[in-house]
């Protein structure tokens, strides 16, 4: 518990309960409540509107408008190179973005007593809760740069500045915190205490005692000698390893975490910039950084989203999704004793969860899963689950038929054992073709099933090419759309197990599915049979080429590789990622 401080002059609300509702207190009163709280309080650095909102969402009760990081976000030094008007303009955005009280790091007050009076007037106009000024000479230099060589302000002159500030404020709750630099400058403890007492007597609402030592010894000595005469504030940037309970026992009132959001952002931005420069593509990082929607959210974009729906309404309604997930998984029997393949953990979450998350990122929220083996183990919320009771003896078309009612809407149909980069689904949803499949051209030389013969090979340098499917089959396939069953030549790639159906394509698929159900071998047919039936009936099936960036899970080796693939999708900053 902190020692009970004696209320400083001009502190008519020093006993305000810090737990009082923010709706009944001004921001200045909220900050004063933090200064006089009976418990240790904390505020966090912010340097623009987005970081201010992040501080608020993290649960902090106040914001430190750091002089170092405010100047750094302008790309200038912490030497008053950013003008006070530029700083105040940024504070205006920060105050709009967050309801928290803001304490500005006001350096030396940006000049003499008159500059300081005008600063306070402008801060109050923008609902800033308080300002901290340090007893150095204008223009200042950051305390951690040759602090011992930096001259201190004359005590009487600095006291006059404090008095001028207190006399000019219109809100009695507005706080002026006096920062003592005597320890930084090597003047010793007696001088630090002398200056602090003079500033308290001049009307400062709190004292910030600063140190650049890696241990808190001189801060704790100061706190002991100060004995709670007025609220005491510290900035433990250098002595960061000190347990926080030490500050509580010492009677400290407020701790400022002074620059850590900007410092956390810098290495992430550097890493992304280097990676994009080296790879000349966004593919490697897009799924590992914050989505654009998160920026919209932090900007308070609810109104923007409503306007976007009004003025940029999509020409197509949001599609639905069908995930074919009835099988146990051949080659994975040792892992699927109690759960189906789609519930195997990949990179820390079930395989099906990766698919669901990918769909939801594209606003595809109506998702049907066709289950079969161990269907009861599929417990991911928000899904519609239908059953294929004959999963052990039937193929994919029986499962698709179980969810045929979704064909009354645009739909994406996918195998349940897929992992893929988000852009693949994004691009598929943007295709104009009424029926479109995804083909991986990097597997054109494959010898397995689901090889795709197309009207043209993948020309990776040509965008907008209209390519259609000719046939899907194995390496010995024939072009059954030709009466002579002519050889197909080289395959263009491998179908990955994902297609979209929209518009008139829905009826084409429903009709082809109905015709196939009349065949005696329907129970053994897979989706490729449906696609071939569509092409034979003269319905174009468009092709979206990709070049890798997906993974199927068909055996134990695929399962291992899928874990590596998922690890590469982890957000930057949560660990290394290699694809």
Residues recognised as catalytic = 78
321 contacts 407 by C-beta, under 8 angstroms? no
> How many CB atoms within 10 Å of residue 332?
19
Phi, psi angles (nearest 5°) of residue 21: -60, 135
11 contacts 205 by C-beta, under 8 angstroms? yes
CA–CA dist 362, 172 (Å, integer): 51
Strand partners, 298: none
- Tokens in use for 497? 């197990």
SS3 sequence of 459-509: CCCCCCCCCEEEEEECCCCECCCCCCCCECCCCCEEEEEEEEECCCHHHHH
81: closest CA among 92, 89, 72, 90?
A: 72
Hey, what long-range contacts does 151-155 have (CB within 8 A, 24 or more apart)? 151/185, 152/181, 152/182, 152/185, 152/187, 152/195, 153/108, 155/194, 155/195, 155/198
CA–CA dist 284, 517 (Å, integer): 43
CA–CA dist 559, 334 (Å, integer): 12
Which residue is listed with tokens 């010898």? 447
């Amino acid at each position: 518990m902190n020692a009970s401080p004696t209320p400083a002059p001009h502190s008519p609300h020093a006993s305000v309960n810090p737990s009082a509702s923010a709706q009944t207190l001004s921001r200045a009163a909220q900050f004063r409540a933090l200064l006089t709280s009976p418990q240790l309080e904390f505020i966090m650095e912010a340097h623009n509107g987005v970081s201010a909102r992040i501080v608020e969402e993290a649960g902090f009760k106040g914001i430190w408008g750091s002089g170092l990081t405010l100047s750094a976000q302008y790309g200038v030094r912490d030497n008053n190179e950013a003008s006070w008007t530029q700083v105040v303009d940024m504070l205006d955005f920060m105050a709009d973005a967050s309801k928290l009280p803001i304490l500005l790091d006001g350096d030396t007050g940006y000049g003499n007593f008159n500059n300081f009076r005008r600063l306070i007037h402008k801060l109050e106009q923008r609902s800033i809760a308080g300002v901290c000024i340090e007893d150095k000479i204008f223009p200042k230099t950051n305390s951690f740069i040759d602090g011992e060589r930096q001259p201190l302000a004359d005590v009487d002159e600095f006291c006059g500045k404090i008095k001028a500030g207190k006399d000019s404020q219109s809100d009695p709750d507005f706080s002026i915190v006096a920062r003592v630099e005597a320890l930084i400058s090597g003047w010793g403890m007696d001088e630090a205490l002398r200056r602090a007492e003079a500033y308290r007597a001049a009307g400062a609402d709190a004292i910030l005692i600063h140190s650049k030592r890696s241990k808190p010894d001189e801060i704790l000595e100061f706190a002991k000698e100060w004995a709670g005469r007025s609220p005491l504030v510290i900035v433990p940037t250098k002595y960061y390893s000190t347990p926080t309970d030490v500050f509580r026992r010492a009677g400290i009132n407020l701790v400022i975490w002074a620059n850590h959001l900007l410092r956390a952002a810098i290495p992430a931005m550097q890493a992304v910039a280097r990676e994009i420069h080296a790879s000349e593509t966004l593919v490697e990082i897009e799924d590992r950084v914050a989505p654009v929607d998160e920026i919209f959210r932090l900007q308070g974009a609810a109104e923007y989203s409503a306007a976007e729906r009004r003025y940029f309404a999509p020409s197509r309604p949001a599609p639905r999704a069908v995930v074919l997930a009835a099988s146990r998984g051949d080659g994975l029997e040792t892992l699927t004793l109690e759960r189906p393949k789609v519930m195997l953990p990949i990179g820390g979450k079930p395989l099906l969860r990766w698919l669901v998350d990918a769909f939801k990122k594209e606003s595809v929220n109506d998702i049907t899963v066709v289950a079969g083996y161990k269907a009861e183990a599929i417990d991911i919320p928000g899904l519609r689950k239908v059953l294929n009771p004959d999963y052990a003896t039937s193929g994919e078309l029986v499962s698709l038929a179980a969810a045929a009612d979704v064909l009354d809407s645009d739909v994406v149909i996918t195998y349940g054992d897929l992992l893929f980069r988000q852009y693949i689904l994004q691009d598929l949803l943007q295709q104009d073709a009424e029926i479109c499949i995804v083909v991986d051209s990097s597997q054109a030389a494959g010898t397995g099933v689901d090889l795709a013969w197309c009207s043209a090979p993948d020309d990776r340098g040509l965008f907008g090419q209209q390519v259609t499917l000719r046939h899907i089959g194995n390496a010995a396939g024939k072009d059954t759309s030709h009466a002579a069953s002519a050889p197909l030549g080289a395959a263009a790639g491998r179908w990955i197990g994902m297609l979209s159906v929209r518009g008139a394509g829905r009826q084409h698929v429903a009709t082809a599915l109905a015709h196939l159900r009349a065949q005696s071998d329907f129970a053994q047919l897979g989706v490729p049979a449906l696609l071939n039936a569509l092409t034979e009936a003269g319905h174009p099936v468009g092709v979206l080429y990709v070049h890798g960036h997906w993974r199927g899970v068909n055996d134990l080796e695929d399962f291992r590789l899928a874990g590596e693939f998922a690890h590469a999708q982890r957000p930057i900053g949560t660990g290394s990622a290699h694809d």
